Amino acid sequence: MDFIKLDKLKTKLKDLRPLNSAELKRLRDEFVIENTYNSNAIEGNSLTLRETALVLEGLTIGEKPLKDHLEAIGHRNAFSFIFELADKKAPLTESVIKQIHSVVLMNDRASAGVYRALPVRIAGAVHTPPEPVLVAEQMEQLMADYSTMLKQKHIIEAVAEFHLRFEGIHPFIDGNGRTGRLIINLELIKAGLLPVNIKYADRIKYYECFDTYYGKPKTADALTKLILDYQIDELERYISMFK
């Protein structure tokens, strides 16, 4: 893993002129639209990138379900919340995760921020999430293990393994993927890195990361490399714009 290249790019970007508030807002707004489209599309949302942008501007796409509109708005609002948390350097806790999920799942208030009470299966996955009675215990263990990972691993490695385990627990009845990918970006931003956009076009590669982790040998390397590559691409893009 080329963490040395990443760290050099991070330093290089930091040494460039600071972004003014207008530049930063424009870049963030563009990123949030694209990230909302991609993250929701991975979960089956039917809005195109253009339609997502229009919905976030307050327009309604007549032929598309209300649920798809609410998912776009919920994800956008959750990303705004992510930026607020990152600015405060808020530690990642179960309470924070439930708050993020509550914003994501604005279309289902009864399930928002509540661990599931039903067993679930992930279609096509090699792993079956734990029974509901085990969710709280496994989430508590995951949070403890993540604190240790942050001390022992590069942040990219830590968030990759956290994400794989979080999605494996599948703590909520819906919205796990969107919430999990938002958590990745919360932790990257807190670490002084850029948010990354796991693209719908790369969804097969993304799914294969879970098969690798829950198969043999059990390794988070595939997702670590995917996040690392996205991060390097984002850093290089920013550097090219602000030289």
Active-site residue set = 170
User: φ and ψ at 89, to 5 degrees?
Assistant: 55, 40
Under 8 Å between Cβ of 59 and 51: no
Q: Which of 67, 47, 51, 48 is nearest to 59 (CA)?
A: 51
CA 225 to chain centre: 15
Q: CB-hemisphere CA count at 13 Å for 38? A: 17
Cα 11 from Cα 19, distance rounded (Å) = 15
78 neighbors 103 (Cβ within 8 angstroms): yes
Q: What is the DSSP letter of 94?
A: H
DSSP classification of residue 106: T
Find out whether 27 and 19 touch, Cβ atoms under 8 Å: yes
Contact predicate 163/184, CB 8 Å: yes
d(CA 102, CA 107): 10
Q: How far is Cα of residue 49 from the mean position of the Cα atoms in its chain? A: 18
Cβ–Cβ under 8 Å, residues 69 and 60 = yes
